[in-house]
Homo-oligomer: A and B are copies of this chain.
Amino acid sequence: MPESKPTAGARNGRAIAEVTALLADYAACIDADDLEAWPDFFTADCHYKITTAYNHAKGLPVGLIYAHNRAMLEDRVVALRKANVYEPQRYRHIVSTPRITGGGVTGGDGGRIEAETGFLVVRTMHDGTQDLFASGVYLDRIDLSGNRPRFAEKIVVLDSDKVDTLLAIPL
């Protein structure tokens, strides 16, 4: 469950701006099907996981998808490209406002920011029909020490346990 204690959000304007811009770029990368650029949003030793709210609340360690470095994300993109021989569906991420839950731009935490951000994804099928593909929350730990902000950890907590089709794209 996301922590719901009020954040000092308004006093973390710069941190919110950093995270907001990063998430907007991240979502646009996936929605533009520019998957080859996706791994560069992560640090080399990143942790990436897609799990469900139920599993996350129970503290179950196993996620639907788990990677403990960027190379695994790159392998995943190659696999997706091989699998998707048909014209891909379109996706549209709508990202809510980040809540800064730790760290800060000033580097009080070694130049890291922790944030929680709600999102939903709309899917458009080849025939034009659209549906709500997924919703959930990003639990992010962002590294500001590089030439651009990158995800040192991204845990994607999905609201639904129905996940069989979720392997189609990164989230």
Binding site for B on A (CB under 8 A): 1-10, 12-14, 16-18, 20-25, 27-34, 37, 41, 53, 90, 92-99, 116, 118-120, 122, 124, 127-132, 135-137, 148-149, 159-162
Cβ B95 vs Cβ A96 within 8 A: yes
- For A17, A20, A28, the residue with the greatest tally of chain B CB atoms inside 10 Å of its CB is A28
Cβ B25 vs Cβ A6 within 8 A: yes
Copies in the complex: 3
Chain B: minimal CB distance from A81 (Å): 16
Cβ B29 vs Cβ A4 within 8 A: yes
When C-beta atoms are compared, the residue in chain B nearest to A134 turns out to be: B130
Cβ B94 vs Cβ A96 within 8 A: yes
Residues in B with CB closer than 8 Å to A3 are 28, 32
In Å, the complex CA distance between A14 and B13 comes to 9
Q: Determine which of B2, B4, B159 lies in contact with A130 in the assembled complex, contact meaning CB atoms within 8 Å.
A: B159
- For A14, A23, A120, A149, the residue with the greatest tally of chain B CB atoms inside 10 Å of its CB is A120
Cβ B4 vs Cβ A34 within 8 A: yes
